[in-house]
Structure 1
């Protein structure tokens, strides 16, 4: 499986996607700076305290990389069905479900690590900036930091799993458009807020866990169905 993953990474020149993720992080940072400057002094200030600030950061990170995950599904799986290159790959002396599993593992890990990395990077920048300018009055204790780390690690895992949901829509007619549109729709659902910035849909823990389980189920069903419907 590891060799299959390595072959896929080289085949699709994955360094370019890592560069794209880096650019996305720069855009996210600029967006957060803009929010901080524009909303400064407002009653519902987005950086009122650390919990609200990290909800904002995590929401933007999940939205960005769930859509990124949809783009990867379109590139690594859907486009290969449309171009018939998947049929060629299925002639190799490798079990078909392993080929798809390698692609899905790449998508899952890429989405997970980028969401978590963005959360950590933006959180570190926030802490460093606040050390010099003190726009957040509360202090972040070690216990609170560890709690946030665990919380957003779980959030990143569930988001990476739910990022596989657009595979269901893309595989119906091997449509890249359907894959991306469903990714965007998913973002609107899971990244929407309730009662302002302090509470989001994602904070209702059963929702992201359920959607994550659905994403993993869709991935497993796609591999099981390879011998029949998906290959025809």
Structure 2
């Protein structure tokens, strides 16, 4: 399985997506930093803590990398079904299930890994920039930074699984556009935040909801190759 994943990595030249990864991270962080610096002029709007500063960073990251994951899925699976490349791959002496599982595993690991690395990197940069820029009120200790690690991992694992849901829509029409469009809708629905001027609410804050959606994404991934051995590629 690991060998198949490595072959898929080389075949699709996945290292090229690292440029997109860094662009996304820099864009998200730069945008939130600008908001933070601008809000310092308004005492009521100023960010009051490390958690308050990181909240929009995490929300924008989740949305961005769910969409990013749909692009990976489109490249690894949807486009190969659309162009009939998958028919050729299925003639190789490799089990169809094993081949598709390798592709899905690569897409999931790359999405979840990118999201985790992106958020952790931005948290680390905040730790070093806060003393000089004063992005929010107060300080952030290294212990506080480390304490966010489990939640960052959990968030990445769940959002990586949610990023598999667009596979259901993309496979129906073998459409890259449908896959990415559904990812945009899903990511905004899950991470959109509603505020009444004081308290804020997001579906992602209710742990059970992203957990259910993550399980749904895993189920969709499983159903996509469950009967592939006896199913014609159309």
TM-score calculated relative to the size of structure 2:
0.91
- Partners of 1:62 and 1:140 in 2: CA distance: 23
RMSD, aligned α-carbons:
1.8
Map 1:63-142 → 2, pairs under 5 A: 63-141=63-141
Which of 189, 214, 217 pairs up with 2:216?
214
Note closer, same or farther for the CA distance 1:21–1:230 as it changes in structure 2 (3 Å cut). Answer: farther
Kept in 2, the 8 Å contact 1:90–1:96? The answer is yes
Note closer, same or farther for the CA distance 1:33–1:108 as it changes in structure 2 (3 Å cut). Answer: same
1:26 corresponds to: 26
1:122 Cα deviation after fit? 1.0
1:168 Cα deviation after fit? 0.3
1:169 corresponds to: 169
1:182 corresponds to: 182
Kept in 1, the 8 Å contact 2:127–2:141? The answer is no
**Which deviates the most, 158-167 or 111-120?**
111-120
Kept in 1, the 8 Å contact 2:163–2:183? The answer is yes
Q: Tell me the number of residue pairs that the alignment of Structure 1 and Structure 2 aligns.
A: 231
- Partners of 1:83 and 1:135 in 2: CA distance: 48
SS at match of 1:102: helix
Note closer, same or farther for the CA distance 1:200–1:41 as it changes in structure 2 (3 Å cut). Answer: farther
Kept in 2, the 8 Å contact 1:194–1:201? The answer is no
Note closer, same or farther for the CA distance 1:200–1:148 as it changes in structure 2 (3 Å cut). Answer: farther
1:198 Cα deviation after fit? 5.0
Note closer, same or farther for the CA distance 1:230–1:25 as it changes in structure 2 (3 Å cut). Answer: farther
SS at match of 2:226: helix
Kept in 2, the 8 Å contact 1:79–1:174? The answer is yes
TM-score calculated relative to the size of structure 1:
0.92
**Which deviates the most, 96-105 or 29-38?**
29-38
- Partners of 1:61 and 1:149 in 2: CA distance: 16
1:205 corresponds to: 207
- Partners of 2:232 and 2:149 in 1: CA distance: 39
SS at match of 1:194: strand
Note closer, same or farther for the CA distance 1:93–1:53 as it changes in structure 2 (3 Å cut). Answer: same
- Partners of 1:122 and 1:58 in 2: CA distance: 9
Unmatched 5+ stretches in structure 2: none
